[in-house]
């Protein structure tokens, strides 16, 4: 593997230097970097080498070299800059560099420092059909063959992030010199592939300069057309009215499968994909760029603390606005619950899997098995028959669109295969059937139960990556959205562990726990100072460090108290914080409240350390440890309130920073409890949330109230209509289990029963009760009858009753639980629900004569005849200090389901249940293909559906897999004209580059805003700029030219209003000094309103590059207008001197692989940010900043945040 090769080569040169003048070879601070020292003429020069894309090592990687020290002789600097170390191993890089330095022959002649590299107007003429060689620096021709002037180099640098420009790949001359997106070697394949995608029923969109240049291909389908059940939609948090979008990024122009198949390894550079959802069939260009941008955003709060805001695998921060501030009609491209794992699968494996299928004739199952078995191993000449097995028959329950497979009928040649269509069909396979595959290793899960939510396989490493590395869902969002559900899950786990029923454990997570009841060490605890003085005896190996956790108890035998060591520097005396039984302030995560231990000031205590590996414990001790760790957690309401008080809008929501209250082991355990739940539970009853009371001097953040009230009233109105009437005093939850297609199988069984038996009431509802300790397993594995719990006197099957009181008798609600610690408590002590018993209400096919038994119990042995609908929870007595939720009395639902008079369920007090119409998707679904008509088929209805399908197939150009339509009247948005033009272009005209259907695409659109931006209207005669630079370097000049060509090309091919930035080529007299205008802000923003008020059409910025670019960031400063300072309520990351307060633009946050296109997007998002305050203009609105103001403000901001000022900053200014 590339990383292993890099590490091995580095270790080899560390053991034996490849050059006699080289020493001190070390691993660098950044991944893929190393340093070494070269001795020359009595001096020692340290060289840093950076390989941005370690995955390309050792054959295709790009390599950057630079001297670490200042005041390096110019001749040596030029020798280093001239070295071509691309695709060379570490030993060769060191040897070449040392030889060049020692011989001083890195350049044939010295480059004058007085040279001022002017950006030639000819170099901006990207309409020429040339490779870009002539537009490089005028002194590049003087380099020897070892420099950057190789004939194969077009001025680009390979191996950068997919968010970069189209010039990023070495040798792609057609991209570097082409301005017409229609000039492409693969124009015919591009048109045919897109038409195949369109014909298969998907919507197609194009962003950027495809097919000839850098751009994005969007393929989408309405989620409602995928045949996903309502229960799965709810569990996966999908909106059926949105589109599932496959976004394919081609950084160097479109490449068909035939081109990528020639070198499948390097083909990964030609294409990257990302999966998300959007309210439109394609995202905007800004959203597409952001989806492939891996740079994090940083924001500053009022106290000067820096907060990280996610930009990948989650919601994109569109225009810097929160959800409540975004117009619901605005298209938003955002990640889904499975975006990260499925995007990684497509990027890493799909091309290889496709080639396996073409070469060997496998199905998807066989190709996946073959990939797993032979990954990294030599393949045999013969292929086992097992790989040719037929794909699972279970897919017959899926929508035809999901079952479609273009490779089944078109698998003979790479030339005939539309790879975008293959990618979309493979995406649907893993998206719709996500519960069948591990979210980490992507292999099929071998489980004997069905699940509604995706999870991981039984491999410990997969569980670790899923839980510890953030692959799983956000537990914190669940706490904010459904606190009662989290309380329910923790309570079920606690009871299961307490009663010895818990059989699956969070192994592989590297949990460290104390042994319950084991206190091997003694100490003196000073209650006044919160200090613990450890008594270290001879032979003891104990050492407490800051961040360690201990559990201690007084010698008198008082309860155990779990504490975090907040200061272990002066061991054996350490300072403690408390976790349990003494709540911290929710306003300060680092607050340390006094530990309450009765007795004298100095108390003798015994304690144990969180040092035992959970995986090594016996099952019994594991259960006790789980109980112990759950008891250290705060209540769910406390956690929810803390998250609200300590999270800004748009900020990453996390409990990790509450480190003095929740140990890392307890937090991981809580994540496991929440993430391993594979059913869908939605709280209906809104348990009364006690209002947060603020102490004197404490004030919540401005966003707290909006977060708490965001959807509260709306949810109450919707969920209140779903309550079952007749279950007074019980808390109600909507409840669904089983695989995503289980609902479809249930529908099929109901339809079959109706057609065969002519049922008037196709289904009935009945209760199922089970002891509380079983529910942790039930919500993960579903209802089954593999174990015998109550004798099964009436046969094998799932037992039901029409009477709630009968099922209540099987819940063992009278039992007193024993926690194993002698406490005798009956529920999790921090629970708000205080659950005493639970039972569910199931919908069952109404064929009692075919049940195993119908009296006195209903015993059903066909699990496809059963679908869970509700979970009812009975609360116990009020625990000390815990307010008990009161279950509201259900009113009669406005729309109800008629019940079979002879099989009507009876609730509390033998009252007949009145069930809302929304409880059954079988008997009420009328908005999609699984409607009531499926239960009672109508010939006329069948005819209309049949003709519609025939029309679809006809429009699909003979495709039998087509299922959706383009603009079919199902609330689909119309395809943009530019995308229709792409699909209708004549290939012959496109090949010759003479087509005019897309000409003028990049011209400024007509704007309704009277203050709209007008390009070329800026007068720079009165602008005060920084003095012109007197420095230059070949690497910097090359890269700046490349970036400028790319940006101008993007600007000329896109709507300026959509881009939001503008560069006037006429204003660039030096490539190291640019003027950029940011414009066309959302009119709802305060900044846009101020600009309109003061007649300001753009925010003018100066961009200055240093001689070490791209190893150091450029300097951005606002020329004008002046912004309102932060101290006076301003925002937008603009300092008082006009510099930008963004870590991205400092040495601490800058990456050499960042493209300026993505940097411009980040800056625009920062200006649009409304948190903590929106950007505003100063009164007057037209004055400007001086360069020295910006310099001082930038240095001041870096010192405030601890960011590193770029080493070449003084030379820039």
Task: Find the range with the poorest average confidence among 25-39, 589-603, 643-657, 662-676.
Answer: 589-603
Same domain, 787 and 917: yes
Identify the domain boundary among 415, 432, 449.
432
pLDDT at 669: 92
Same domain, 539 and 399: no
Q: What's this model's pTM, rounded to 2 decimal places?
A: 0.56
Closest-CA residue to 552 (of 582, 572, 568, 532): 532
**721 within a domain of the structure (yes/no):** yes
Same domain, 726 and 818: yes
Same domain, 265 and 391: yes
pLDDT(4) > 50: yes
Quick one: CA dihedral 855, 858, 859, 862, positive or negative?
Answer: positive
Please tell me whether residue 613 adopts helix, strand or coil conformation. Answer: strand
**117 within a domain of the structure (yes/no):** no
pLDDT(817) > 90: no
- Packing angle, helices 419-432 and 187-199, rounded to 10: 40
pLDDT(489) > 90: yes
pLDDT(905) > 90: yes
Give the mean pLDDT of 771-778. 89
pLDDT at 35: 92
Give the CATH number for residue 10.
3.10.110
Same domain, 539 and 403: no
Partner residues linked to 35 by β-bridges: 26, 48
pLDDT(784) > 60: no
Could you report the per-residue pLDDT of 393-440, keeping only the tens digit for each? Answer: 555 567 888 888 888 765 566 777 899 999 999 999 999 888 888 888
Same domain, 787 and 925: yes
Give the mean pLDDT of 440-459. 75
409 membership: H or E segment, kind and range: helix 406-409
pLDDT(677) > 80: yes
Identify the domain boundary among 34, 69, 103.
103
Q: Greater confidence, 270 or 1061? A: 1061
Could you report the per-residue pLDDT of 856-894, keeping only the tens digit for each? Answer: 889 998 888 998 899 999 987 543 344 455 555 556 777
Same domain, 224 and 79: no
Question: Based on the structure, what is the number of domains in the chain?
Answer: 5
48 membership: H or E segment, kind and range: strand 43-50
pLDDT at 683: 82
pLDDT(1050) > 50: yes
Give the CATH number for residue 1082.
3.10.110.10
DSSP 302-313: TTS-EEEE--SS
Identify the domain boundary among 616, 636, 660.
616
Q: Which residue has the tokens 């539309």?
A: 418
980 membership: H or E segment, kind and range: helix 977-984
**362 backbone φψ class: left, alpha, beta (φ>0; ψ -120 to 50):** beta
Q: What's the CA gap between 561 and 267, in Å, rounded?
A: 57
pLDDT(80) > 70: yes
CB-CB contact of 1096 with 1022 (8 Å): no
Q: What's the CA gap between 267 and 258, in Å, rounded?
A: 11
User: What is the C-alpha R_g of the chain?
Assistant: 33
1141 is catalytic: yes
**979 within a domain of the structure (yes/no):** no
Same domain, 764 and 875: yes
200 confidence band (pLDDT: 50, 70, 90):
confident
447 confidence band (pLDDT: 50, 70, 90):
low
**850 within a domain of the structure (yes/no):** yes
pLDDT at 136: 35
pLDDT at 991: 40
- Packing angle, helices 419-432 and 339-360, rounded to 10: 120
Q: Give the percent of the chain with pLDDT over 90.
A: 22
DSSP 870-929: EEEEEE-SPPTT-PPP-PPPPPPPSSB----GGG--B-GGGPBPB-BGGG-HHHH--SSS
Closest-CA residue to 488 (of 679, 659, 626): 679
The secondary structure of residue 334, as a DSSP letter, is: B
Task: Find the range with the poorest average confidence among 10-19, 71-80, 968-977.
Answer: 968-977
State the catalytic residue, choosing from 563, 1141, 1168, 1198.
1141
pLDDT(238) > 80: yes
**144 within a domain of the structure (yes/no):** no
pLDDT(927) > 50: no
Q: What's the CA gap between 931 and 249, in Å, rounded?
A: 39
Could you report the per-residue pLDDT of 340-353, keeping only the tens digit for each? Answer: 888 989 998 889 88
Same domain, 222 and 370: yes
**274 within a domain of the structure (yes/no):** yes
Same domain, 918 and 1054: no
What is the number of other CB atoms lying within 10 angstroms of the CB of residue 449?
16
Q: What's the CA gap between 673 and 681, in Å, rounded?
A: 14
**489 within a domain of the structure (yes/no):** no
**985 within a domain of the structure (yes/no):** no
Could you report the per-residue pLDDT of 696-715, keeping only the tens digit for each? Answer: 333 344 433 343 444 444 44
Q: Look over the chain and give the mean of its residue pLDDT values, rounded to a whole number.
A: 74
Could you report the per-residue pLDDT of 43-63, keeping only the tens digit for each? Answer: 788 888 888 777 778 887 878
Please tell me whether residue 317 adopts helix, strand or coil conformation. Answer: coil
Same domain, 91 and 192: no
pLDDT at 889: 57
Q: What is the three-state SS of 705-744?
A: HHHHHCCHHHHHHHHHCCCCECCCCCEEEEEECCCCCHHH
Same domain, 195 and 94: no
Q: What's the CA gap between 983 and 270, in Å, rounded?
A: 22
pLDDT(313) > 80: no
Q: What is the three-state SS of 1080-1111?
A: CCCCCCHHHHHHHHCCCCCEEEEEECCCCCCC
Domain that holds residue 563: 512-616
Which residues have CB under 8 Å from 780's CB, separation 6+? 449, 451, 504, 676, 677, 678, 679
């Amino acid at each position: 593997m590339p990383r292993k090769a890099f590490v091995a080569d580095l270790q080899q040169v560390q053991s034996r230097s490849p050059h006699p003048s080289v020493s001190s070879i070390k691993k660098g601070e950044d991944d893929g970097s190393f340093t070494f020292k070269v001795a020359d003429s009595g001096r020692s020069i340290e060289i840093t080498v950076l390989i941005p894309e370690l995955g390309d090592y050792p054959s295709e990687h790009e390599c950057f070299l630079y001297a670490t020290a200042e005041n390096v002789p110019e001749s040596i600097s030029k020798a280093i800059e001239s070295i071509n170390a691309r695709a060379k191993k570490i030993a060769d890089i060191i040897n070449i560099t040392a030889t060049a330095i020692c011989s001083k022959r890195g350049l044939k002649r010295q480059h004058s420092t007085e040279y001022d590299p002017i950006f030639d107007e000819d170099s901006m003429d990207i309409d020429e059909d040339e490779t870009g060689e002539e537009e490089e620096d005028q002194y590049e021709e003087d380099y020897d063959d070892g420099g950057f002037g190789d004939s194969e180099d077009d001025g680009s640098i390979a191996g950068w992030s997919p968010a970069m420009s189209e010039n990023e790949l070495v040798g792609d001359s057609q991209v570097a010199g082409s301005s017409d997106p229609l000039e492409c070697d693969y124009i015919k394949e591009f048109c045919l592939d897109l038409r195949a995608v369109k014909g298969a029923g998907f919507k197609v969109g194009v962003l950027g300069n495809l097919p000839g240049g850098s751009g994005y291909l969007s393929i989408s389908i309405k989620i409602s057309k995928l045949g996903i059940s309502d229960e799965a939609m709810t569990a996966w948090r999908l909106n059926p009215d949105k589109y599932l979008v496959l976004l394919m990024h081609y950084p160097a122009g479109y490449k068909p499968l035939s081109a990528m198949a020639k070198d499948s390894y390097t083909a990964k550079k030609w294409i990257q994909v990302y999966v998300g959802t959007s309210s439109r069939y394609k995202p905007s260009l800004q959203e597409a760029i952001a989806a492939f941008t891996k740079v994090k955003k940083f924001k500053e709060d009022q106290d000067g603390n820096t907060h990280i805001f996610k930009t990948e695998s989650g919601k994109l921060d569109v225009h810097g606005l929160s959800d409540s501030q975004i117009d619901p009609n605005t298209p938003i491209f955002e990640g889904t619950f499975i975006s990260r794992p499925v995007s990684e699968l497509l990027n890493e494996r799909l091309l290889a899997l496709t080639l396996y299928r073409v070469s060997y004739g496998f199905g998807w199952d066989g190709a996946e098995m073959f990939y797993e078995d032979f990954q990294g191993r030599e393949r045999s000449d013969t292929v086992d028959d097992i790989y040719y097995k037929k794909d699972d028959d279970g897919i017959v329950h899926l929508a035809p669109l999901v079952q479609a497979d273009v490779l089944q009928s078109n698998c003979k040649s790479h030339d005939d295969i539309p790879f975008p269509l293959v990618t979309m069909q493979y995406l649907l396979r893993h998206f719709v059937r996500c519960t069948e595959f591990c979210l980490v290793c992507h292999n099929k899960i071998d489980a004997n139960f069905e699940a509604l939510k995706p999870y991981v396989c039984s491999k410990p490493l997969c569980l670790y990556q899923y839980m510890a590395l953030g692959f799983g869902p956000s537990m914190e969002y669940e706490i904010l959205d459904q606190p009662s559900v989290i309380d329910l899950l923790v309570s079920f786990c606690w009871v299961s562990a307490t009663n010895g029923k818990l059989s699956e454990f969070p192994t592989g997570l590297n949990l460290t726990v104390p042994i319950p009841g084991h206190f091997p060490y003694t100490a003196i605890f000073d209650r006044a100072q919160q200090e613990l003085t450890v008594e270290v005896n001879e032979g003891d190996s104990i050492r407490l460090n800051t961040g360690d956790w201990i559990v201690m108890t007084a010698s008198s035998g008082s309860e155990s108290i779990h504490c975090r060591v907040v200061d272990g520097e002066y061991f054996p005396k350490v300072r403690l914080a408390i976790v349990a039984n003494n709540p911290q302030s929710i306003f300060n995560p680092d607050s340390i409240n006094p530990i309450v231990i009765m007795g004298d000031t100095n108390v003798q205590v015994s304690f144990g350390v969180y040092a035992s590996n959970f995986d090594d414990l016996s099952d019994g001790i594991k259960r006790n440890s789980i109980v112990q760790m759950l008891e250290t957690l705060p209540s769910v309401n406390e956690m929810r309130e803390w998250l609200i008080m300590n999270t800004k809008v748009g900020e990453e929501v996390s409990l990790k920073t509450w480190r003095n209250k929740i140990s890392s082991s307890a937090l991981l355990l809580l994540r496991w409890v929440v993430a391993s739940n594979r059913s869908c539970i939605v709280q209906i009853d809104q348990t009364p949330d006690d209002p947060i009371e603020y102490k004197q001097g404490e004030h919540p953040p401005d966003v707290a109230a909006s977060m708490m009230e965001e959807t509260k009233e709306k949810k109450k109105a919707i969920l209140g209509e779903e309550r079952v009437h007749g279950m007074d005093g019980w808390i109600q939850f909507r409840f669904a289990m089983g695989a995503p297609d289980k609902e479809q199988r249930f529908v099929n069984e109901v339809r079959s029963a109706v057609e065969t038996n002519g049922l008037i009431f196709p289904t009935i509802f009945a209760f199922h009760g089970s002891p509380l300790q079983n529910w942790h397993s039930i919500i993960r594995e579903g209802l089954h009858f593999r174990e015998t719990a109550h004798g099964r006197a009436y046969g094998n099957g799932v037992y039901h009753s029409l009477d709630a009181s009968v099922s209540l008798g099987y819940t063992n609600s009278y039992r007193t639980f024993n926690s194993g610690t002698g406490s005798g408590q009956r529920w999790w002590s921090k629970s708000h629900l205080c659950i005493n018993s639970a039972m569910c209400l199931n919908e069952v096919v109404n064929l009692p004569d075919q049940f195993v038994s119908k009296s006195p119990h209903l015993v059903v042995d066909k699990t496809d005849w059963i679908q869970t609908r509700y979970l009812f929870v009975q609360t116990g007595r009020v625990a000390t200090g815990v307010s008990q939720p009161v279950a509201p009395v259900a009113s009669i639902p406005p729309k109800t389901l008629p019940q079979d008079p002879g099989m009507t369920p009876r609730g509390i007090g033998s009252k007949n249940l009145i069930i809302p119409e929304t409880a059954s998707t079988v008997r009420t679904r009328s908005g999609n293909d699984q409607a009531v008509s499926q239960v009672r088929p109508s010939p006329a209805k069948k005819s209309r559906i049949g003709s519609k399908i025939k029309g679809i197939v006809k429009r699909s150009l003979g495709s039998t897999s087509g299922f959706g339509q383009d603009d079919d009247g199902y609330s689909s948005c119309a395809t943009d004209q530019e995308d229709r033009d792409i699909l209708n272009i004549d290939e012959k005209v496109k090949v010759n580059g003479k087509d005019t259907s897309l000409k003028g695409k990049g011209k400024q659109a007509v704007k309704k805003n009277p203050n709209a931006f007008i390009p070329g209207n800026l007068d720079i005669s009165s602008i005060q700029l920084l003095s012109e630079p007197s420095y230059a370097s070949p690497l910097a000049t090359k890269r700046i030219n490349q970036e400028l060509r790319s940006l101008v090309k993007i600007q000329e091919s896109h709507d300026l209003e959509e881009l939001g930035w503008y560069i006037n080529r006429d204003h660039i007299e030096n490539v190291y000094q640019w003027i950029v205008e940011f414009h066309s802000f959302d009119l709802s923003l305060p900044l846009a309103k101020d600009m309109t008020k003061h007649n300001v059409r753009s925010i003018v910025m100066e961009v200055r590059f240093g001689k070490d670019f791209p190893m150091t960031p450029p300097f951005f400063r606002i020329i004008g207008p002046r912004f309102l300072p932060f101290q006076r309520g301003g925002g937008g990351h603009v300092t008082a001197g006009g510099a930008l307060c963004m870590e991205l633009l400092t040495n601490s946050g800058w990456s050499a692989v960042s493209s300026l296109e993505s940097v411009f997007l980040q800056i625009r998002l920062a200006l649009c940010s409304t948190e903590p305050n929106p950007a505003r203009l100063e009164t007057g609105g037209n004055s400007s900043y001086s360069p020295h103001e910006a310099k001082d403000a930038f240095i001041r901001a870096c010192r405030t945040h601890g960011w590193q000022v770029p080493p070449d900053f003084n030379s820039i200014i």
